[in-house]
Structure 1
Amino acid sequence: MQWRGRRGSRNVVDRRRAGGMGAAGGLGIAGTLAVLAFGYFFGIDVSPLLQDQGRGAGTGELTQRDEDWGQFVSVVLADTEEVWQPVLRDQAGLTYEDPQLVLFRGVVQSACGGASSAMGPFYCPGDQRVYLDTDFFDMMAERMGAGGDFAAAYVIAHEVGHHVQNLTGTLAEVNRQRGRLPEAEANRLSVATELQADCYAGIWARQAQERFGTLDVGDLEEAMRAAEAVGDDVIQASAGRTPMPDSFTHGTAAQRQTWLMRGFQSGDMAQCDTFGARDL
């Protein structure tokens, strides 16, 4: 992915130095075991992030790798800003409001409540911010076989996709409906929400390539591998469980790849109507 030397966003809030809290030091063994649940974004257990891996825990110091990830995130966020401003205006008749992206380590407080690295990256509509611990990218590569800078960019673009949903009113409507539905139906609504965010990530990837020449050979494959790795069926099977479709909240590997590619191939928000689709 071509990103070095490019403009970064001014909307990154870096709390990694200020926090300086290693997750293991903050939660301890009991806290680490307590996060054996699906993450907010990926629906997986990312408790390994809570273990002190000697990366400045308790000191607030950042390694060169931390600094590189911070610069990378800033450039990707800037690209999403430049892409979504005209796309949202031209395709939805709305003004794009830039979200902020908060980098944190260990634990963080948002308008949606407290959160830890174990939740994975997430978007909070209450403050229109994306929250991200960049150690998550290393975990993707080491434990999920989904490494690469464009795989990481897909993660960011997906969360920004939720911000687009917030601006269009989709998230508010989904939250209103979910509170009135049985669990299985509420889960299906969640799947549609996540797949639309994947589709929006595909729109960003297409526009980033057309506008900035961002993609290198193999980049799209990286994003596809990441989409596969975070499918609910793959996650449950990897955990030794029999995949249970009624419990899915993010979609299967095939669904996530399909909607990512639909956004990439069409570049059209109208093609991302997962809620009206007969077959996801």
Structure 2
Amino acid sequence: MNPEKHKSPGKKSGDFPYWLVALGLIAVAIAYVIATNGLYTQIANAVSKGVYITVFVTLVGFALATLLGLIFALMGLSKSIVLRQIARFYVEVIRGIPMLVLLFYIAFVGAPALAWLIDTVTQPLQQAGITSEFRTRDIPLIWRAILALMIGYSAFIAEVFRAGILSVDEGQVEAAEALGLSPWQRFRLIVFPQAIRTILPPLGNDFVAMVKDSSLVSVLGVADLTQMGKVYASGSFRFFETYSIVAYIYLVLTIGLSLGLRQIEKKMRKSQER
């Protein structure tokens, strides 16, 4: 039996990214149309004003979600049963709520509750004339949206961190403990550098997913990419052209991020093999 006949096709012809070449050609063709067609240029200029908000919401929301997710992951791996149960409760509840529902809940229930709490705590300062009354409208909609994305994604990221940390061999942790390293030193020097190999791919997927889910903030009237497209389309009735450009920009952002993250993964894999 000839082994060449049973060689995996992925190793022979699948390594070259033909799909990426095709996608790149389509992207260049669309960019040419946008640059040369006056209508598409006008639409692109109008909706691209929301790209900054989309990027800002994604970066800030993901950074906060990663930090909060790491905290709950460490709580879930704690020796304290109380901390473990709190982390499990948080993760299971938050993961069971649709992102859009969570967005509405944080914006119209959580924000008023937070405003009331801040107002109650600062009552002595208000009476002394140092601060004024804190109201719900003092919390901008963009920060309500960021808070919702942070809470929603932190539950998923917590599970990513937990799985990555558990993938590290316990023998290495025990050896580090025998050497007298503190828990923080064991985590920083032994656990996390090895866990990041497992953590990075799903964490990158969550980052790309948040870029897309950031479009949900448009339901609050936040002037992101989707909202700017919605405003332009409703005023001009150019729905096909407008949403085609909006989809094109999102594809450029998400695919660009995906390719960048893959390169980072490859570099990390090569550095670990040396």
The TM-score range, normalised by the shorter chain, is under 0.3
Structure 1 length as normaliser, TM-score?
Answer: 0.26
Task: Specify which structure has the higher proportion of helix.
Answer: 2
Task: Specify which structure has the higher proportion of strand.
Answer: 1
Q: Which has the larger radius of gyration?
A: 2
State the structure with bigger RCO (CA 8 A, min sep 6), 1 or 2: 2
